[in-house]
Amino acid sequence: MTALIITNIVSFVSTNLDDIFILTIFFSQVGSKVKKTDVVFGQYLGIGLLVLSSIIASYGLSFISSEKLGVLGFIPIILGMKSWIDNKKGSRNAVSYKDDEEAVENQITVESAGNKNILTKIIRPQILKVMFITIANGADNIGIYIPLFSRYSPSQLVITIIVFSVMIAFWCFLGYKLANFPLIKQQLEKYKHIAIPFVFIALGIFIIFESGLIF
C-alpha cells in the first residue's frame, strides 16, 4: 500500500505542478465576488472530472483523448480576453465575473430563457470558471492517468481517489499561502490587471498546441 500511495502522490505532483501557479492567481482574486470555497470546490470538481474520465477510459472507453479535450483551451483564452477588455474599460481592480459567467455559458452552450444556463443555476459561476480552467489545464493528465489506473484494482482506485483528494486540499493550501505571501501578494495586486489576462490567454494557447488539436 505504501508503494501505491507514493506512486499516486508522485503522479499527482508531476501532472499538477503548473496548477499551483493557476491556483495562486485564483486565490489572489478572492474578495466580494469570489470566495476561497469557490476556488477549492472548482479545483475538486475539475480534477475529479479528470480522474473520473481517466477511470472510465482505462476500462475501455478510450474515446476520451487529450486531443479532444484540447478544445477546452479556448475557455481560458475567452476569459483572458474578457478580463483584458474589462480592464481597458477602466476596471483595474478585478476581473468581471459576470462576463466570465457568460463566457462559460457560451462554451457549454446550455442556455435558458433568462440567459443563465442550467449549471450556473446549480453551481456558482466562479466555481465553474475554476473547474473548466482546471480541466483545460489538466487535459494532458489523462494521458498519464489512463495507463496508471488501468493496472489498478477497484480497491486500489479507491485508495487513489482518497490520496488525490488529500493532495488537492494540500495544493489549494499551497496556492492560498502563495497568494497571501506578502511579496507575491503585493506584486499580484499591482500587476494582476495585466497578469491575469496574460496568464489565461497564454495558458489557453499552450493547451491547444500541447494537445495536438491544431498540429
pLDDT band at 109 (very low <50, low <70, confident <90, very high): very low
Q: What is the pLDDT of residues 51-86, one digit of tens each?
A: 998 888 877 655 555 566 567 667 778 877 877 787
Tell me which of 209 and 104 has the higher pLDDT.
209
Distance of alpha carbon 130 from alpha carbon 110, whole angstroms: 18
Distance of alpha carbon 35 from alpha carbon 40, whole angstroms: 9
Range list of β-strands (E), the chain = none
**CA nearest neighbour of 100 among 118, 90, 85:** 85
> Which amino acid is present at 99?
D
